[in-house]
Structure 1
């Protein structure tokens, strides 16, 4: 799915499921269940922080033709669509590649910055922060982009590393917390909400998106603060709802 796009197997997958801007499509509900599961691993659907696989791969930038500017992790620890979620929601170039973005121009006033509407002042400040991040980025002509398997940057991807990542994840210890949550003096409906919160099972926008219920762009907090609506954000960090829960 990520490399050897000229191979026969890749062309078969494109013929079966489709391709958009160099990215294999899931194929809708008519696709086989195994293919949807493979796509979920690639896209991190149902996982926190993008999923175990996405956390362990990144793009090494070359000419930029096979690197998605917003969707691939090529600078920093997360894709730019998550780091600048508000701008990603507003851009009209969600599937633009690095090569096209660089060619159009991402300097101040560059045509690469195309928005659905005029930006507010605080959104323009985000763009300036974005541009500072891109100051030292250089696209290398005649050099192919490549994927980097971060657990072993020299040998590359091996099944043993993937198996280790899946089998040695530490599970949080909720035993002590469970005694408090399910206390007999706590109303049942409160216990259920608290338990779902601790296990990150509440229907927040980020959880709904990971399960494929809502669109990938519909993850921002309903308060309009511009931050992804996760459980920790709603209960702790949101300037609207976070302060409300503290009062309660």
Structure 2
């Protein structure tokens, strides 16, 4: 027997192509988040920005209370974060540790020990640069290997060319840009190919 996840996976990934309605709903909510991050204009977007004060962006907002729709957006924004990267402008809307803006990996994964020692793990790039200047980024003095890691991280911070414009989000899962189908695929099968199941679609039927 095949699992429900395998059944819902697209045929080109070895599944049967059944639509997972819950996953598609999450993908469509993710589209709202992406459009907000892109600065999309419209009455609904304006209401969300004003009501929840998300000038820093939906991904950086820590407000979980609100309407069912807003709570739904908060539940799925982790998927958007997995699929997007940022081009740094002012650095005020990009998470220093959690977002992908240097290379293709979040800094919290590249420097896990430094991340754990950071006083505030939800700082934007702009706020982090200020903390570095104030020498108040970490809650304790760095020792041993942390000193070497900090030297590497300092070089990355030094290369940041912050401008005055907004940070720009870019979609990494599809070269053509954001698509509900690309994030739906991420939610449903996490990008893992079921090789054994793919054989089924290549077998000749007598």
What TM-score do the two structures reach when normalised by structure 1?
Answer: 0.50
Measure the CA separation in 1 of the matches of 2:121 and 2:135. 11
Decide whether aligned partners of structure 1 residues 139 and 105 sit closer, same or farther in structure 2, where only a CA change above 3 A counts. Answer: farther
In the alignment, which of 98, 111, 136 is matched to residue 71 of structure 1? Answer: 98
Counterpart of 2:177 in structure 1 is: 156
Task: Give secondary structure in 1 for the equivalent of 2:76.
Answer: helix
Counterpart of 1:81 in structure 2 is: 108
- Tell which has more relative contact order, 1 or 2 (C-alpha 8 A, sep 6+): 2
In the alignment, which of 124, 147, 151 is matched to residue 128 of structure 1? Answer: 151
Paired residues in the alignment total 156
Quote how far apart the aligned CAs of 1:61 are: 0.8
Structure 2 unpaired stretches of 5+:
1-32, 198-206
Measure the CA separation in 2 of the matches of 1:160 and 1:173. 21
**Contact preservation (8 Å) 2:81, 2:99:** no
**RMSD of equivalent CA atoms:** 3.5
Measure the CA separation in 2 of the matches of 1:74 and 1:138. 12
| Residues 1:39 and 2:60 are matched in the alignment | no
Q: Relative to total residues, which structure has the larger helix share, 1 or 2?
A: 2
Task: Give secondary structure in 2 for the equivalent of 1:64.
Answer: coil
Counterpart of 2:117 in structure 1 is: 90
| Residues 1:144 and 2:166 are matched in the alignment | yes
Post-superposition Cα deviations, 1:150-200, rounded to whole Å, max 9, x if no partner, equal 2345x531224334545674345699xxxxxxxxxxxxxxxxxxxxxxxxx
Task: Give secondary structure in 2 for the equivalent of 1:58.
Answer: strand
Task: Give secondary structure in 1 for the equivalent of 2:183.
Answer: helix
Task: Give secondary structure in 1 for the equivalent of 2:116.
Answer: helix
Counterpart of 1:230 in structure 2 is: none
Measure the CA separation in 2 of the matches of 1:38 and 1:146. 20
Task: Give secondary structure in 2 for the equivalent of 1:87.
Answer: helix
What TM-score do the two structures reach when normalised by structure 2?
Answer: 0.58
